[in-house]
Structure 1
Amino acid sequence: MASRATMDKRRGRRHGSPVSRDVVLRAAKSQFARQGYEKTTLRAIADEAHVDPSMVLYLFGSKAELFRESMKLVLDPQVFTDQLTTDDGDLGFRIVRAYLGIWEQPDTAASMVSMLQSATSNSDAHEAFREFLQSYVMAAVTDALGGADEARLRAMLAATSLVGTAMLRYVMRVPPLSTLTVDEVVTLVGPSVQRYLSAPASEIGLPPSSAH
C-alpha cells in the first residue's frame, strides 16, 4: 500500500500544506492568459497550483466562477475609483491613462487580451465577464460617482470608449489606433470619457429616468 507521503505527492500537493485560494487564482490567471478560456482545464490549473483538481472545484464551484474571480487579479476597480476623487477637468484623461496602463504592462496585458477574446467567443466566459464587470468594476465606479442610476449609466458609457479602444488597439491591433503612442490615445479618447462622466445630463442626452 502506498504511503501517505506518496499519495500526497501523486495528488500534486505537499503533505500538510494548506490549499490557498490565492495560489489557485494565480494559477488560473496564468492558464487563462496562455490558453484562453476554452482550452484551459481545471486539471491544468490544479497542476500549476499543485493541488488536487477536486479541491479547485470545492473552492470555486466551476471554471466560469474561477475565471470571474481570477479577473480580480487583473482589473482592479481601485485603478479607476482613485481617479474619481477629484474632477479637475482632467478626469477623463486620467481614467484613460490608468486603463491603458493596465494593457501596457506585460504581466497583465496577456490576461486582458484573453479576457476580452474569451468573453466574445464563449458563452460561459461571456456571462462570467459580464457579471464581473457589473458586480465588481461598474459597481465600484458607480458608487464613486454617487451610486444613482445616472451614475451607473455614465460609468457604462465611459466603459464603451475604454473597452472599444482596447479591443481595436490591443486585441484586433487595427492601425492607426494600434500604432499611436499612449499619450496620443489619451489625448484622443480622454475628452469622450470626461464628457460621459461629468458633462450635464442634458448635454449628453441621458434619459430623465436615469437621474432617479
Structure 2
Amino acid sequence: MSREAVLAAAKKRFATDGYEKTTLRAIARDAHVDPAMVLYLFGSKADLFRESLRLILDPGVLVTAITGGADDDSDIGSRIVRAYMRIWAEPDTGPTMVAMLQSATSNSDAHEAFRGFMQNYVLTAVSGALGGDEPARLRAMLAASQLVGMAMLRYVMEVPPLATLPDDEVVRLIAPTVTRYLSTEL
C-alpha cells in the first residue's frame, strides 16, 4: 500500500516540480509516510524517478504494437508510432512524460535514471518482441531514437510544423522509418 502511494506521489511531484525541485520529503508528505520509508522502499531519488517512469510508459503497450493483432494495421511502424503518440496524448501521462523528459535532459541523476529505465526496461521488452538478440536490441534502439526525437520536438519543445501536424500525418511521415528499423536486417 505505501509503495503504491509513494509511487503515485512521486509521479505527480516529478511531473509538477521536475526532478531538481522534487524532494523525498515532499514525496513522503504527499504519500503520508515517513521520509525514511521512501528511502527504504526505493533507495534513492534517482531510483524512485526510474520506478515512477514505469507508471507512465508501459513497454507492454509497445510490445503489443509490435506483435499486432488481427484488427491492427499491418504496418509495424504505423502501429508503434500510433501507440507511442497515444501515450503522449493521454491527459494522465502526456504532461508527466514532458516533465520526465525535460528532467532527463537537464539533470545528470535524472539522465542516468532515464537511461537505465530505457535500457533495462523498455528496450529489453521491445527487443525481446523482436527476437531478443543484439541486432534486435540495436533495431529497437534505432526506432526509439526516432520516436524520442519526434516526442522531444512535438511534445516537449513544441516546434512547428511537427508540433502542429495532425496525428495521422505524423504517423504517415515517421512510420516508414520506424518500420525499416524494426523489420529489416542491419
SS in 2 for 1:174: coil
Q: Which residue of 2 aligns with 1:65?
A: 47
- Number of equivalences: 183
Q: Which residue of 2 aligns with 1:52?
A: 34
SS in 2 for 1:23: helix
Q: Which residue of 2 aligns with 1:140?
A: 125
Question: How far off is 1:86 after superposition?
Answer: 4.2
Question: How far off is 1:183 after superposition?
Answer: 1.0
SS in 1 for 2:163: helix
Report the TM-score, using the length of structure 2 for normalisation: 0.95
Question: For the Cα contact (< 8 Å) 2:24–2:35, is it kept in 1?
Answer: yes
SS in 2 for 1:178: coil
Question: For the Cα contact (< 8 Å) 1:28–1:67, is it kept in 2?
Answer: yes
Distance 1:85 1:105 in 2: 22
Q: Which residue of 2 aligns with 1:168?
A: 153
Larger radius of gyration: 1
Question: For the Cα contact (< 8 Å) 1:168–1:174, is it kept in 2?
Answer: yes
Question: How far off is 1:84 after superposition?
Answer: 1.9
Report the TM-score, using the length of structure 1 for normalisation: 0.84
Unaligned runs of 5+ in 2: none
Quick check: 86-95 or 161-170, which moved more? 86-95
Q: 2:82 aligns with which of 70, 92, 97?
A: 97
Q: Which residue of 1 aligns with 2:139?
A: 154
The structure 1 segments of at least 4 consecutive aligned residues displaced by more than 2 Å after TM superposition are 86-89
Question: How far off is 1:89 after superposition?
Answer: 4.3
> Structure 1 vs Structure 2: percent identity of aligned residues?
68
Q: Which residue of 2 aligns with 1:107?
A: 92
Distance 1:149 1:99 in 2: 23
**What RMSD in Å do the two structures reach over aligned CA positions?**
1.2
